[in-house]
A and B are shown apart, each in its own frame.
Chain A
Amino acid sequence: MNDEQLTVLQRMIKGKWIGKGFLALLALAIIWWVGGKAIQSPSLFFQQIINGIQLGFVYALIALGYTMVYGIVRLINFAHGDVFMFGAFVSFFAVSLFQLHLWPVQTFPSLPPLIGIVIGTLSVIALSMVSCAILAMTIERIAYKPLRDAPRISALITAIGVSFFLEYFGALPFVFTPNFITYKRPFEIVTWYVKDGIHRLEAGAEAPPGSVIFSNVLIIIILVSILLLVGLNYVVRRTKIGKAMRATAYDKPTSRLMGINVDGVISTTFAIGASLAGAAGVLYATAYPQVVFWMGIIPGLKAFVAAVLGGIGSIPGAFVGALIMGQAEVISAGYISTPMRDAVAFTILILVLLIRPTGIFGEPEREKA
C-alpha cells in the first residue's frame, strides 16, 4: 500500500499532516478573529500594528545576536539580554552625565538642528555598540573560550551564570544601583497623527478621533534597525570576515585547516551580535524610557523565542521571527489582555518546538564529524 491509497485521515495520522493541519486551522482562526477586530475599529487596529512594529524591530536587533552566536558556536548565549541592558545603561550615562548627544550642536553651532540631533543620537548609539562589543569579547574570552571543547551544556550553564553576574553586578549600589532610573532621551519627542494626511500633534493637544498616532521614536527605531540590518547583511555576505564566519558556522575544523583564525572569527561574531544588542538597548530605552538592572531579562527571552521561531542560526529568520513576535505580543495585549502577551510569546515557543523545531527559515541540522 503506497501513499496514494491512504485516506486523507490516515495520511494525517501517518505524516506530519496533523501538525500542518492544526497550524493551518490555528492561523485561519487567528486571521478570522483579528480581521473581525480590525473591521470593528480600523484606527485602533493600525495603531496596534504600529506599536507591534516598534517592538518587533527592537526584538529583531537582539534576536540577531542570539542567532549569530548560535550559528557559529552552537551556544545559546543567555547573557545576551544583559549585554542589551548594559548598552541601555551606557547610553543613559552618555546622555545624562556627559551630554554626548549634544556634541555636534556644541562643536558646530551653524549645523542645522535636525542634523545635529541625528548625528548626536547616532553617536550615542555607536558608543553603546562599541561598549557592548568590548564587553561581549571580554565575556567570550573569560567565560566561553576555555569551554570551547567542553560539553555544550557546560557552556550553556556558564552563560546563565554570566547573565546573573551581569545583572547582580549591575545592581550593586556603586554600579547601576538597584533603582528604576528614568531614561533621558537624546532627542525631544515629536508626535504625528494620520487622518486625511499626516499632521503634527502639538504637545498637550488631543488627536482627533479615528486617527493613528506615531512618533519620531518609531521612525528612529525603524531607520536605525534597517541601517544595521543592511550593514550586517553586507558584512556577512560581502566581506572576508563574513565569508570566514559562514565557513566557521559550516565546519569549524575544516575552516581551521583552511587557515581561518577560528577564535578570531568567533570573537568577532560575539562583538557584532553584542553591538546590535547595544543599539537595541538604546532604542528600547528610548521607546520605553526607564532603565533598571533586570531590564534585559524579558526582552532577551522574547528575542530568543523570536530567534527560535525564525529558525535559530538563520539571520533572515531572526528578523522575520522578531517582527512576528512583536505583532503577536501587541495584538494579544491589545485584544485579549496584557498579561496574555507573555503567555502568547512562550506558547509560540512551545508550538514551534513541537511542530517545527527548526523554525521558519531553519534547516534540519546536519550531523557533523
Chain B
Amino acid sequence: MSKRFLFIISILIVFSLTLGACAQPKPTTLKVAILAPLSGAVPTFGVSTRDGALLAIKEWNAKGGVLGRQIEAVVEDSQCEADPAVNAANKVINQDGVKYIVGEVCSKASIPVSEIAEEKGVVQISPTSTNPNVTLKADGSTKQYVFRACFIDPFQGLVGASFAINELGAKTAFIILDQGNDYVRGLAENFEQAFTEKGGQIVGKETYTSQDTDFSAILAKVAEAKPDVVYLPDYYNIVNLVTAQAKEKGITAPFLGGDGWDSAELDRAAADGGYFTNHYSEQDTRPIVQQWVKNYQAEYGSVPDALATLAYDAMNLLLAAIQNAGVDDPAKVKDAMASIKWEAVSGTITFDQYHNPIKSAVILQVKDGQVKYVTTVAP
C-alpha cells in the first residue's frame, strides 16, 4: 500500500514539474544583473554605480530595448567584499538566469566574480575595477568573458607618477598603502615602478590595514622623511582620516591618489591641495559629457561622479555589444564586445587583447572645497 502510495506521489510530482515547465511563459525581457556595493565599506560607490547603470537601461528601454526586448535589471548588493559578491553572482546566474553582469565596483570583489563568469560563460563587464587580474587568468591569458570599462592600475600609477615628476617637479615620494587591498596595491606598485624609472626616489613606504583609524605612527615617519609628494591611492574614507591627521602633523607635501578619492564624501577641507587621477570630469566640454550630466541631473538631482559615469558606459557597452551580436548568446556577445568601438562618456573605447579599454585619463585637484579639472593625459 505504502509503495503504491509513493508511486502515485512521485508520478504526481513529475507531472506537476512538467506542467510547471510548460506553463512558464517564454521570457520577453532580457535580464542584466548589476552587482554594486550598496552597503559595506563604500556604499556611495554602490549607489552611484547602480544609478548610472539603471539610467542607461532606462534610455535603451525608451528606445525600444535591445533585440526588440525590454531590459530588466537585477540589482544585488555585493558589499565590496569577495564572499557577498560571489553569493550575489551565484544567485543571479543560478536563480535569476542572468547571462550578463555589470559589476562589481571593487577589484577584490570583481576578481572572484570574474572566475565564476568565465566558468559559467556569463559576460561580465566591471565598470571600475582597475586591477589587472580582473580580466587576466593566473597564467596570464585573457578571461574570454570578462571586460572592464575603466583603464587599469598601471595606467593610473603611471599617470600619477608622470604628473608628480613633470607637473609638480617632485623628486622624492612616500607611498602609504593598504597591503590587503588589491586596488591600492596595484596602483602603489605601478606608481613606485614608474616614479623610479623616471628618475624619482621613493623615500619611504608604509602599510596599514583597512580597519585602521590611527595613522599617527606612519605620519610621524612621513614628517621625518619630508617627501615632495605622498602617494595615497586608497578610497575616500581612508583619505579623509589620513589627510586630516597629516594636517595636524604639519605635513605640507601634497597628497596624490587615484579614482578612489572620487566621492561626495571626500573631506575636501582635509584633502585640500591634493591631486588624484580619474576617469572623467563633469567640467569636460565634450557634448556627450554635457548631455550625460544634464540627463543624470534630471533623473537624480545631482552631478554624476566617475562611478556613475563608468557604470553608465559599462551598461551601454554591454547593451551595444548584445545589439551588435544580434542574438542573446553570451558566446557571441563576448566576441562582439572584444571588437567594439563605442563613443562613451569617459572617452572613445576600444578593447585591447587583455580586454582593457584604451582611452584617456584626467587629473583633478581638491582646492578650496572644490574638485577642479587640471589636465587630461592621453595613453
Q: Which residues of A contact B (CB under 8 A)?
A: 41, 43-44, 47-48, 51, 54-55, 171, 177-182, 189, 191, 193, 201, 203-207, 209, 213, 215, 217, 284, 287-290, 292, 295, 298, 329-330, 333-334, 337-339, 341-342
Contact = CB atoms under 8 A, between A and B. Distances in A.
Nearest to A335: B217
Q: Across chains A and B, which 5 residue pairs bring their CB atoms closest together, nearest first? A: A51-B216, A333-B217, A180-B237, A334-B217, A288-B213
Contact of B39 (A44, A48, A178): A178
A51 B212 CA distance: 14
B94 interface: no
B207 A171 contact: no
Interface of B: 39-41, 43-44, 179-180, 206-209, 211-218, 220-221, 223-224, 226, 236-237, 240-241, 244-245, 247-252, 265, 267, 270
A205 B217 contact: no
Contacts of A342: 209, 211
Given A179-B44, A334-B221, A205 B250 contact: yes
Given A178-B39, A334-B217, A334-B221, A189 B209 contact: no
A339 B39 contact: no
B241 A288 contact: yes
A333 B218 contact: yes
Contacts of A298: 211, 213
Nearest to A326: B214
Given A51-B217, A182-B265, A182-B267, A338 B209 contact: yes
Contacts of B211: 298, 342
Contact of A48 (B208, B220, B265): B220
Contacts of A330: 214, 216-217
B39 A171 contact: yes
A78 B269 CA distance: 35
B220 A339 contact: no
B236 A288 contact: no
A127 B207 CA distance: 37
A291 to B, nearest CB: 10
Contacts of A182: 240, 244, 265, 267, 270
A337 B205 CA distance: 10
B240 A54 contact: no
A148 to B, nearest CB: 34
12 contacts: A178-B39, A179-B265, A182-B265, A205-B252, A213-B248, A287-B214, A298-B211, A330-B214, A334-B217, A338-B207, A338-B217, A339-B179
A207 B245 contact: no
Given A180-B237, A182-B267, A338-B208, A201 B250 contact: yes
Given A171-B39, A288-B214, A207 B240 contact: no
| Interface SS, A side | mixed
Contacts of B207: 337-339
B371 to A, nearest CB: 15
B245 A213 contact: no
Nearest to B272: A204
Nearest to B209: A339
Contacts of A217: 248
Given A191-B248, A288-B241, A338 B206 contact: yes
A203 B252 CA distance: 9
Contacts of B237: 180, 290, 292
Given A54-B216, A179-B44, A193 B241 contact: no
B250 A206 contact: yes
A298 B265 CA distance: 23
Contacts of A43: 224
Contact of A180 (B208, B217, B265): B265
A333 B179 CA distance: 14
A304 to B, nearest CB: 16
A189 B247 contact: yes
A216 to B, nearest CB: 9
Contacts of A295: 213
B241 A289 contact: yes
A48 to B, nearest CB: 6
Contact of B244 (A180, A206, A207, A289): A289
Contacts of A178: 39-40, 43
B223 A213 contact: yes
Given A182-B244, A209-B224, A288-B241, 12 more contacts: A44-B220, A179-B43, A180-B236, A206-B226, A206-B250, A207-B250, A213-B223, A288-B214, A298-B211, A334-B218, A338-B217, A342-B211
